[in-house]
Amino acid sequence: MTVAAEFAATVLFEGENGKNMHACDVGCDHAKLSIYLVQSGICKRVLACDINDGPVEKAKKAVGTRKYMDKSLSEYIEVIKNDGLKNLDNMHFDRVFILGMGGELISDIISGAPESIKRSKNTGFVLQAMTSEYELRKYLSKNGYEIVNEKLVEDKSRVYSVMLCRYDGKIRKFKEYEYHLGKANVQNREPLFEAYLARKTRIFGKLFSQLVKANKDAEYEKNLLSDFGKIKNGKI
Ligand SMILES: C[S@@+](CC[C@H](N)C(=O)[O-])C[C@H]1O[C@@H](n2cnc3c(N)ncnc32)[C@H](O)[C@@H]1O
């Protein structure tokens, strides 16, 4: 299981006790997260889904050969082949985990979910994008999801942001640097934030140089890099 997934399993909203939840692990792959959720007592039931046959088979095998409280894990975890959250109408989850995919795919999965899931105010969405975090934050803010908090985790020398979100129907607008870095990350200033900011600064620094060299408009990148610099120096 990735460091991000292990961390994601344990994040809580204020007031939650983090026990006996019902979760959906979307894109479960080997079902390591689902297994961890049950074996650590966080979830009493998990629906583990994946769109591809290979992961579904791996997940079924992993679940079928392990136990929790003297019972097969298959009593707690159901593994199904499914495209995202589609066709799961009338199901309620305390948690939906969508981890380890691109931000655009995560947005598409939420957008394709039945209303009963995507507009549920009682469901916490725990999301972690490998790429396109900007697009994911933009999607969430435009579609009524509050990013309640973000936490940074390091996996194989790269820092990722785990987002804890909830639907409340309010449309939000943020500053461009907040879509790139996460408003909560800028506020929280966790120790990993320095490396997270440095990576984004490198990416946009390179892009800026390429655009300038090609005589193309680089105003957006220039302003963004200026804001990144202010954040680094504690002026934002
Ligand atoms: C890189 S793995 C991440 C696995 C796990 N969530 C983690 O974070 O370690 C991505 C998984 O998502 C699955 N996947 C991709 N698109 C999907 C979709 N639309 N619905 C369900 N699963 C999907 C892939 O088959 C793959 O197993």
In a domain, 219, yes or no: yes
Provide the domain limits for residue 199. 194-232
Give just the sign of the alpha carbon dihedral 197, 182, 222, 218: positive
User: Which residue's alpha carbon is at the smallest distance from atom 25 of ligand 1?
Assistant: 52
Contact 58, 30 (CB under 8 A): yes
- pLDDT per position as a tens digit, 32-61: 999 999 999 999 999 999 999 999 999 999
- Which SS3 state, helix, strand or coil, does residue 151 take? strand
Tell me the average confidence (pLDDT) per consecutive run of 10 residues in the chain, 236 residues long.
89 88 97 96 97 98 96 97 96 97 98 97 96 98 97 95 97 98 97 98 98 98 98 96
Residues 162, 226, single domain; the answer is no
CATH number for the domain that contains residue 76: 3.40.50.150
Which atom of ligand 1 lies closest to the CA of 97? Answer: 6
- pTM over the 0.75 mark: yes
In a domain, 144, yes or no: yes
Residues 18, 83, single domain; the answer is yes
In a domain, 186, yes or no: no
In a domain, 189, yes or no: no
- pLDDT per position as a tens digit, 171-183: 999 999 999 999 9
Backbone angles phi, psi at 185, to 5 degrees: -65, -40
In short, whether 52's Cβ falls inside 6 Å of ligand 1 is yes
In short, whether 51's Cβ falls inside 6 Å of ligand 1 is yes
Q: What's residue 87's pLDDT?
A: 96
Q: What's residue 90's pLDDT?
A: 87
Ligand 1 mean position, distance from CA 55 (Å):
8
C-alpha–C-alpha distance, residues 107 and 138, integer Å: 9
Ligand 1 mean position, distance from CA 51 (Å):
7
In a domain, 86, yes or no: yes
Domain count, the chain: 2
Q: Which residues neighbour 42 within 8 Å (Cβ) at sequence distance 6 or greater?
A: 9, 10, 18, 19, 21, 23, 36
Ligand 1 mean position, distance from CA 232 (Å):
34
| Alpha-carbon distance values, 222 to 171, 206, 209, 213, 228 (Å) | 27, 11, 10, 14, 10
Which atom of ligand 1 lies closest to the CA of 98? Answer: 6
In short, whether 56's Cβ falls inside 6 Å of ligand 1 is no
In short, whether 140's Cβ falls inside 6 Å of ligand 1 is no
C-alpha–C-alpha distance, residues 138 and 178, integer Å: 10
Contact 181, 35 (CB under 8 A): no
Residues 7, 124, single domain; the answer is yes
